Structure 1
Amino acid sequence: MDVLKPDYTRFLGPESPDPVKTKYQPHARPIFSSPYGPFPPTPPDLNVHELCFPPQNPLPPDYPLFINAVTDERVTLHQFYHRVCALARVLQHDGPNPLKLDRSPVDDKEDGEIMGLFSRNHIHYPMLAHACFRSEIVFGGISPSSTPYELWWVLRKMQITSFVCHETLLHVFEEALKLGSGEGDKGSNLRLVLDPHKVIVLSDNPELDTVSGYPTVESLVRMGSKLPEIPRRLHGGNKLCFLFQSSGTSGLPKAMMICHKNAVHTAMQGMITATQSARFAGVEPLQPQRVLGVVPAYHSYGMILWILRVNLQQLTNVMLPKWDVELALRSIQKYKLTMLPLVPPLVRQLAQSPLTAKYDLSSVTTCSSGSAYLPSDVAYQLAEKLPQGASHPIPSGYGLSEAASIASPAAPGIFGLPESKPGTIGFLLPGMDARVVDPDTLKDVSKGQKGELWTRGNVVTPGYFKDPKATADIFSEPGWLRTGDLVMRDEDDRIIYLDRLKEMIKVKGLQVAATEVEDTLLDHPEGFVRDACVAGIDNGRGDGSLFVRAWVVLSAEGKKQPDEAVARKLKEHVESRLSRHKWLTGGIEIVDAIPRTPSGKMLRREMRDMYYARLKEKSKL
């Protein structure tokens, strides 16, 4: 198949539009599609590892693939591939199988081997993932910031049977095991099925064979390098590939299923858009890039960046074990990084940090944001500090765990498309269809009206693992994923993001978008606010209406004035800009920080819970 060719033309199918000559025609029909057209044809049983490393293609010339930003330790592309092959020989259930692994399930109707990956960003994390692809072991990425209870919950939700744990997180894992099998837990009927004999440690010391009695990843790579390679046909397609941990912004996390077909097409989307954008600009597509590696690898965004695109383009990824603003800036300068894929809190930190001016950022050609809503002011602030300048604000893409990449701003002019300014999430990505639907009536709304975004395409999940009720909730109609996001489709078929439906605040029958109020607070002319969270709180009247309450983190400028004065000025600013039902009737509270997931999603629920807990304590006095 063409998709396995060794050059960029693999990402162009017979129906791919010409980026210069083809002009996208917006329309008023309920279902609209990507200006990039459909995906190129792919083999129905393709395994994502073979998309990245087609068996008939020789490896390209070697280059550094992953670099540890702290230690400068490096893994080249050739080393990566040979290490993946070695580890896969050990993990194959039908090989020598020293770990006694079972066959993995093809879907959630079966039981079988599911390997948990519990680590911060690490230069060998992508190798673990590709070894699982190659050995057809299903794995689940787990947030390294999990508490023992959260880890215990996810181990059960994902039905993890084997486990890879970074050595610094062993204490969390051991505490999680003490919580037992889950008998008597009313929150889930899934029990802990982890086999303690199938635990592997990812150590930063490559010389170690064991840590705390567990074999290390390196010892298994060494073992596999001595085993013969037995040629075998890899299977993919609709088979289960890996599990995502959902963000848990509205309750404890769920496990999201991703099949090989989802992973293959998610990987291809970025390659198609990059190829078409280069052709539009008249330059050679998919030129080498050097990338800042800070987005978490366990997350859907990080999975795309560090795992699904290996060898699809020459990318040298400089990995940060955790976020550190000065380490990031130093890495940009030292390695002359060209691409900065970020999440909104990191965009804001880089935009507002005085350290940014002390480093040479002239190598940066691309900066983008994803995973959560990016306020317009921040998109312009960071762009001002980069070579692109404020005339090219940081674009923000859109996706979900359930469909990792759905929409993104396009290069202005490509397919005749207009610019997507901050506040929009751009146009549908390759292979995607969408509708905007009234969430109550489930009827399509007209252009320019608010509604829930529904989408379909090969990147959309089959559903939640062993949770048919939750799956049914996101598929009201077969094939159409309900995103839970309130959007508007404009006259050019751009998508304008408004808010999470669950975060819409109902005030006397009128809807208030929390993000609109947050943006207004962040946009105060005196720059008082560094971060803001807005949510609805009970008005105490029992009529279902809510008060709008804000929690703000002050900037250095805001801290110069008394809290009462700042709160008063912020309240007056909101009232001068917004309609009465959007006013802060629930008050303003100054806090030290706004809780967020590692990927940047704001945890409004936690702010509400803390507020109600304080009220409850006061009522006891």
Structure 2
Amino acid sequence: MTPDILKQHWSRFIGPNAPDPHAYKYEPHSHAIFKSPYGPFPATPPDLNIHEFCFPPNNPLPPDYPLFINSANEETVTLHQFYARTCALARVLRYDGPNPLGLRKSPTNDREYGEIIGLFSRNHVHYPMVAHACFRAELVFGGISPASTPYELWWVMRKMQITSLMCHESLLPVLGEALKLGSGETDQSSPLRLVLDPSKVIVLSDDAALDSVSGHATVESLVRLGTKLPEVPRKLLGGERLAYLFQSSGTSGLPKAMMISHKNGLHSGLQGMITGVQGALYGGAEPLSPHRLLGVIPMYHSFGMILWILRINLQPLTNVLLPKWDIELALQSIQKYKLTALPLVPPLVRQLAQSPLTDKYDLSSVQGAISGAAYLPPDVAFQLARKLPQGGSMPIPSGYGLSEAASIASPPPPGIFGLKPALPGTIGYLLPGMEGRVVDPSTCVDVPKGQKGELWARGHVVTPGYFKDAAATADIFTEPGWLRTGDLVMRDENDVIHYLDRLKEMIKVKGLQVAATEVEDTLLGHPEGLVRDACVAGVDNGRGDGSLFVRAWVVLTSEGARQSEEVVASKLDEWVKQRLSKHKWLTGGVEAVDSIPRTPSGKMLRREMRDRYHAQLKNEGRSKL
């Protein structure tokens, strides 16, 4: 008997006991553990594989449509082509098939060793096909940032225990330099050695006609080989088994590798289906209608994984991919393909909100935008919304998740389940299937509503832990099942979650805590519009008492640049003093800079700005000797 979750109808995503979006009224409460207004997940088979969740066995494919389009050259992959190519490549990658690459069986957890293939590429129309071929072949993969330096690549391949690698042709030089660093025998920071077999490197080339590049087989050559191999019917295994590894953002220290099981991955994809169906039912629309998305979020990232890989064939989505961010190409793509949805990260929201280029293009097809992966300042959420058909009354919502739990909270449609609006500056309500607590990080005791504490999360999307790193895993699971997010939040009277800051980024001033994001939002909200980006961090006060000064680095708008830096600094200092408590004042000064460093997903690198400032002070001290 086919489980309901694998049947062909949108009702499979909400289950028989799902709350009615009109009749059900969510009641806030004061219990320490609070739950999603959307209710629990629908039941899924315990051994379900992500690929079979997206392409249920014995279900015919829907009518064909363009699935991925490369906006730069119009190369197109349709849904039917995607599925056929995925099946072909999976036959080649399967360890117990003809196995021309000599791949081993993959580990099912981090107590085992085996084949793990790294995916080292920028966004590409065939990247999702490789990922799904891995799911279908039960081959574990690890997503690696294409922005990695040779040293970072070398480090991540060791942390993930990468044994084989798919590398985009443009990144082969980076791989070559990484291999020169050796096995890591002399590196005392990690016991894990480089185990990549160079003979198992395959190349993702932009030229589909090539069979090899630099002596390595191409992905296309393997797809062609796979079309000639017989399909062996088999029950795919998934569930709690390891599916892929994520590279942590590395905002504090070198990146780690976190494990994502098939159960984790498919439930991350399922959350968007649940919220989409319930939102459509609430708005009186047909659930899961076709959409056309702007594809710029990196595929190796947890946000991109949900968008471009975990939802394939769950809803008719045409994804127009940008090989790299180009604001004019993005606007051209919106106009040309009449895109309806814009998944973005905060730096891109800001660029679109502030760019005069938006006036040159027709954005009338856009039904909505959403931001994720990092904190979105409220002023930017309103600015971009005013440029879109939705208008300023519906600011850009910002979802919340981590690599360790891809999707935890998000603002829902106003009024659904009787919920109060989740305004910009908040991260909304818990997503389907999630439970939360707000806990004092030092005592691990739950705090009352209205008080700040660390957000703990529980649900099927939460990682089992870090690969081959029991100590790091223990740090994030003080209590079994409860993920310590490392983020400071406040749960208000309506159970809306307000994001305050990364716990490690909180600034201690004379024993009092300062949330950097609060000060940054204040600077961005100056009535003269002097600042278009801001970074705040705690810097050494020079007294040796452990307390810090609050310092700001700002990127000026054209209005701010027109005035002198001294005048701007003085105005911003006075503005903060008017708006915030004394311990939040800018005692460390204000400095104008050309840009604020960020990770590719938009996370601000406050540590880099702080370290740069301390190095500058040290050098100035030496020069005076």
| TM-score computed with the length of structure 1 as normaliser | 0.99
The one of 154, 163, 166 equivalent to 2:165 is 163
Equivalence map 1:52-201=2 (5 Å): 52-201=54-203
Partner of 1:578: 580
The partner residue of 1:587 within 580, 583, 589 is: 589
CA distance in 1, matches of 2:532, 2:415: 34
Unaligned runs of 5+ in 1: none
Contact 2:268 2:406 in 1 (8 A): yes
Cα distance in 2 for residues equivalent to 1:594 and 1:99? 44
Q: Deviations over 1:207-234 (max 9, x none)?
A: 0001111110000000001111111110
**1:86-485 equivalence runs, <5 A:** 86-485=88-487
Query: In structure 2, what is the Cα distance between the partners aligned to 1:108 and 1:592?
Result: 43
* 1:540 Cα deviation from its structure 2 partner: 1.4
- Report the 3-state secondary structure (helix = DSSP H, G, I; strand = E; otherwise coil) of the residue aligned with 1:557: helix
Matched, 1:540 2:520: no
How far, CA to CA, are the matches of 1:15 and 1:539 in structure 2?
57
Q: C-alpha deviations, 1:485-522, integer Å up to 9, x for none? A: 11111111111111111111000011000001101111
Cα distance between partner residues in 2 of 1:406 and 1:478: 18
Shifted more, 606-615 versus 332-341: the winner is 606-615
Match of 2:507 in 1: 505
Q: Residues 70-98 of structure 1: CA distance to partner in whole angstroms, max 9, x if unpaired?
A: 00000000000000000000000000000
Q: Which one of the candidate residues 24, 27, 31 is aligned to 1:25?
A: 27
Q: CA deviation at 1:366?
A: 1.4
Q: Distance in 1 between matches of 2:17 and 2:107?
A: 35
For residues 188 and 403 of structure 1, the distance between their equivalents in structure 2, rounded to whole angstroms, comes to: 25
Q: Give 1:619 shift.
A: 2.1
Q: Return the offset for 1:376.
A: 0.4
Q: In the alignment, what sits opposite 2:516? A: 514
Question: Is it true that 1:596 corresponds to 2:598 in the alignment?
Answer: yes
Shift of 1:434: 0.5
Alpha-carbon distance between aligned partners in 1 of 2:576 and 2:331, rounded to the nearest angstrom: 35
The 2-side partners of 1:170 and 1:606 are apart by 28
SS of equivalent residue, structure 1 residue 108: coil
> CA–CA distance in 2 between the matches of 1:80 and 1:318?
15
Map of 2:561 onto structure 1: 559
Taking only aligned residues, the RMSD between alpha carbons, in angstroms, comes to: 0.7
Q: Which runs of 4+ in 1 moved over 2 A?
A: none
Other-structure match for 2:46: 44
Contact 2:342 2:369 in 1 (8 A): yes
Q: 1:514-553 CA deviation, whole Å, 9 max, x = no partner?
A: 0011011111111111111000011111111100011111
Tell me the secondary structure at the aligned position of residue 24 of structure 2. Answer: coil
SS of equivalent to 1:405: strand
Hey, what's the Cα distance between the residues in 1 that align with 2:76 and 2:596?
Answer: 35
Amino acid at match of 2:579: R
Shift of 1:15: 2.1
1: CA distance, partners of 2:620 / 2:420: 54
Q: How far, CA to CA, are the matches of 2:14 and 2:247 in structure 1?
A: 32
Partners of 1:467 and 1:620 lie apart in 2 by 40
Using the alignment, how far apart are the partners of 2:198 and 2:415 within structure 1? 56
Q: 2:614 aligns with which of 599, 602, 612?
A: 612
Give 1:571 deviation, angstroms.
1.2
Q: Which amino acid aligns with 1:237?
A: G
For 1:553 and 1:421, how far apart are their aligned partners in 2?
Answer: 26
Give the Cα separation in 2 of the matches to 1:293 and 1:69: 9
SS of residue matched to 2:457: strand
* Unpaired runs of at least 5, structure 2: none
Q: Matches of 1:315 and 1:405 in 2, distance apart?
A: 20
| Inter-partner Cα distance in structure 2 for 1:114 and 1:611 | 40
Question: Which whole-Å deviations, capped at 9, do the CAs of 1:262-319 have from their partners, x for residues lacking one?
Answer: 0111110000000011111111100000000000000000000000000000000000
Range that drifts further, 544-553 or 304-313: 544-553
* Partner Cα separation in structure 2 for residue 169 and residue 379 of structure 1: 35
CA distance in 2, matches of 1:328, 1:554: 24
Deviations 1:569-598 (A, max 9, x none): 111111111111111111111111111000
- Paired residues, number: 621
Give the CA deviation at 1:14: 2.4
Deviations 1:152-172 (A, max 9, x none): 000000000000000111111
Q: Distance in 2 between matches of 1:185 and 1:557?
A: 50
Deviates more, 1:487-496 or 1:304-313: 487-496
Within 2, Cα distance between the matches of 1:281 and 1:589? 47
2: CA distance, partners of 1:538 / 1:562: 27
Q: Deviations over 1:551-573 (max 9, x none)?
A: 11111111111211111111111
Q: Using the alignment, how far apart are the partners of 1:12 and 1:436 within structure 2?
A: 27
Provide the secondary structure at the position in 2 that maps to 1:355: helix
Report the secondary structure of 2:229's partner residue: coil
Report the Cα offset of residue 11 of structure 1: 0.4
Q: Partners of 1:328 and 1:495 in 2: how far apart?
A: 32
Letter in 2 for 1:95: G
1:381-412 Cα shifts (integer Å, max 9, x gaps): 00000000000000000000000000000111
The alignment partner of 1:222 has SS state of: helix
**Does the residue aligned with 2:348 lie in a helix, a strand or coil?**
helix
Q: Distance in 1 between matches of 2:40 and 2:562?
A: 54
User: How far did residue 441 of structure 1 move?
Assistant: 1.1
Check the 8 A contact 2:540/2:614 in 1, yes or no.
no
**Deviations along 1:99-147, whole A, 9 cap, x unmatched?**
0000000000000000000111100000010000000000000000011
SS for the counterpart of 2:175 is helix
Percent identity of paired positions between Structure 1 and Structure 2: 75
Partners of 1:157 and 1:272 in 2: CA distance? 34
Q: CA contact under 8 A between 2:93 and 2:101: conserved in structure 1?
A: yes
Distance in 2 (CA, whole Å) between partners of 1:505 and 1:363 is: 43
Whole-angstrom distance in 2 between the partners of 1:610 and 1:105: 41
* Alpha-carbon shift at residue 363 of structure 1 (Å): 0.1
Shift of 1:39: 0.3
1:345-399 deviation digits (Å, cap 9, x = unpaired): 0000000000011110000001100011000000000000000000000000000
On the 8 A contact 2:49/2:239 being kept in 1, the answer is: yes
Distance in structure 1 (CA, Å) of the matches to 2:622 and 2:178: 34
So what's the TM-score if we normalise by structure 2?
0.99
Q: 1:530 maps to what in 2?
A: 532
CA distance in 2, matches of 1:341, 1:151: 27
> 1:576 corresponds to which letter in structure 2?
Q
Please state whether the residue corresponding to 1:257 is helix, strand or coil.
strand
Deviations 1:407-440 (A, max 9, x none): 0001111111111110111111000000111111
1:511 alignment partner, SS class: strand
